[in-house]
Amino acid sequence: MARRCAALFAFALGAASSSAFYIPGSFPNAFTATSALRVKVNSLTSAQTELPYEYYRAPFCQPADGAQRISENLGELIAGDRIETSPYAFAMRVDTRDAPVVLCQTRLGEDDAATLRKRIEQGYRAHMLLDALPVTNYELLGDGGRGQVLTGFPMGYTTARANESAHEHGHQGHSHEELDVFLYNHLEFKVLVHKADSASLLPPRRTAALPPPEAWLVVGFEVLPCSVDRGAMSGLPPYNSSRDRVAPDSGAAPLLASRLACDGARPAWVRPGEIVAFTHSVRFVEAPAIPWVNRWDGYLDASGVDQELQLFSLLNSLLVVLALGALIALYILRAVRRDLLAYHSACDAEQDAVPGDAGGWKLICNDVFRAPPHADWLAVAVGSDAQVLMVAFSTASLASLGFMSPSARGALLSAVILLYLLSIGVGGYAAVRCLACLHASSGVLPLPNWRAVSLRTAALLPGAAAVVLALINISVRAAGDAAGAVPASLFLSLFSIWCFASVPLCVVGGYVASHAQLPAVPEGCKPTHIPRSVVPSTPEEQEALFLRRAPSSAWVALAGGVLPFGALFIQVHFVFAALWRHQTYYAFGFLTAALALAAALTAESAVVITYLSLAGEEWRWPWRAFLAGASGALYVGAYALCYALAGPLNLVGAAAVTMYGLYSALLTVAVGVAGGAIGVAASHAFVRLLYSSLKSD
């Protein structure tokens, strides 16, 4: 029975994940035989430096009419994608494996050889696109279970002169002079195609737009990079300038080379004065088992061990949520009921004082709804938290429903940024509403400082993000000609959206919340003019007070983030792999469910910490609740540190360390403020419910 429930749960989440790749209104491109297929190139990336470089900053062949930049969206610009045209062109269903096409040849100069050597030693991978599919040097046709594939292919490889053992990403145990570097200058492409029919083009187009007979769809793009030294080839221009790297016009007859086996060929060295000829071949393989709607499955491979791992992680988190909820119901509610019976008995007997066993949280009923110190900043933090929560759940839900396709590069990041900037009115409303709840006992409308709170909310997280982007931009530009630098025009566009849209929306949200009706304070709990202070007069009373407040100390509140982080641990691992190892994140269904479970665990942990604070006669519970909810960010930050020091990353250079540290810090802050809002909201509801059960004296 448990296996069936788990299988049903996996099917529901898997359906949400697998349908997340094709948005309504998108259709495949059908190509007839001999139709032209154009390959685009993207930035060079490395998991060691995290600094993308434009493809043509390396001495590669360029198109005859020059490389043309493809317009990028907001997410692509920030992610460092720089898509350009390339001289690689195929004819559908025309194999050239036996007669490779020669693009160009060049003699490597000092600068070219140094650039190639550095990029290859740092593990850079070249990226290409065909019909929006990325190229990969992994096998896409298979039985699955191999995990995610890496897109792109390595630029070359190195060998250690001592043992001649080849290493794709360099050898850390040898010095710079002890490595021989070789360039992958011949690319054997394999294009997987699926014969187009009406079933493969769902949703169907109009009848007049149906594909003609013998039309084909591209469902996979693989490459086998080879290092082949062909020497100087006749028929090409002399190799004395950068113009030699321009490929001939596509309309001219291509220059063909003899086929050489990759394994037995003499490799192409990377050293000054070496003559390198760039060639390629292509073969088309029909893949009837891969329909167009499932062509991303080979890249993601979401049916292997990873899916089972995420499923059982969610089931474990669900059990923890239920167990902690049961603990709250059995322990806290039982203790509250016992305290209420003693308190009401004392009130019914009209005693002058509440007995000692009826003390604790009941003694601070006239202080518990008093505004805590720095209530304005607490409200600003809660407002920012509410906005982050809304953006996170909205983006994950839309992606799991199919509105974020991996073929639409940068769409997810663009949606997150624009949704955050345009939904900031929610943050302004939540911030001022939180301030109103904290000052509910005053009964003053509108709140005198709601404008300042709204403006702080509009500037807090966007300002932090702007500082992070500016510092990363400075470090990237200082590292050299990297494509990861954000253009100044993009900064200006984002600032204009924030200034003329986000700030007014935040003020409008604050205005609406400031004129809304204040929540009523429970009868008999209106704050007095002077806060109640607990000053022990004897060592015994001091010890008793310490024992009552020890379970609700700040250190205990920091432990409240363990359970929410445990619910998100697996997703954090995959998110970090997608961000820093250049993998494609696909499990949005699992992410949505994990976020919901983590939110439930955060609320339950905050309620427990709040009750312990009240039982210790500590009436300044809002900040303690915020700390309990935000403590999960500490574990996210610790994971980011361990991921960099002891994980799969091998960061090289100050720019890479700066980029990783700043982005991880921004993610940690976002997680912290999101959890803090949940903690304050859940604790406020719990406190109102708890004290509304007291009788008025």
Domain boundaries, the chain: 30-300, 365-528+545-691
Question: Could you report the per-residue pLDDT of 399-416, keeping only the tens digit for each?
Answer: 877 777 777 777 788 888
Q: CB–CB of 107/273 below 8 Å?
A: yes
Q: Across residues 406-428, what is the average pLDDT?
A: 83
The closest of 552, 554, 561, 532 to 611, measured between CA atoms, is 552
Is the bond preceding residue 446 a cis peptide, omega within 30 degrees? yes
d(CA 77, CA 164): 40
Q: Give the up-direction half-sphere exposure of residue 240: CA atoms within 13 A in the CB hemisphere.
A: 2
Residue 278, classed as helix, strand or coil, is strand
CB 51 within 8 A of CB 482: yes
How far apart are the C-alpha atoms of 563 and 499, rounded to whole Å?
38
Q: What is the overall mean pLDDT for the chain?
A: 76
* Cα 644 to Cα 503: distance, rounded to the nearest angstrom: 36
Tell me how far apart the alpha carbons of residues 610 and 489 are, in angstroms, rounded to a whole number: 47
CA distance 406 to 99: 34
Lowest mean pLDDT among 375-379, 560-564, 659-663: 560-564
Q: Give the pair of three-digit tokens for residue 95.
A: 């194999």
Backbone dihedral region for residue 147 (phi beyond 0: left; psi -120 to 50: alpha; all else: beta): left
| pLDDT average, residue stretch 585-607 | 84
Which runs of consecutive H residues, i.e. helices, occur in 180-304? 297-300
Packing angle between helix 654-691 and helix 562-580, nearest 10 degrees? 150
369 three-class SS: coil
Cβ atoms 694, 343 nearer than 8 A = yes
Name the β-bridge partners of 535. none
As a whole number, mean pLDDT of residues 109-113 equals 89
Residue 545: helix, strand or coil by DSSP? helix
Beta bridge partners, 104, equal 278
| pTM assigned to the model | 0.76
CA-nearest of 298, 297, 292 to 203 is 292
Where helices occur in 450-582 by DSSP H, the ranges are 450-478, 488-497, 503-514, 539-549, 554-558, 562-580
Residue 280, token pair as written in the block: 């390629």
Half-sphere exposure of 537 (CA within 13 A, CB side): 0
For residue 104, pLDDT beyond 80: yes
Summarised one tens digit per residue, pLDDT across range 318-351 is 887 788 777 777 777 777 777 667 665 655 555 5
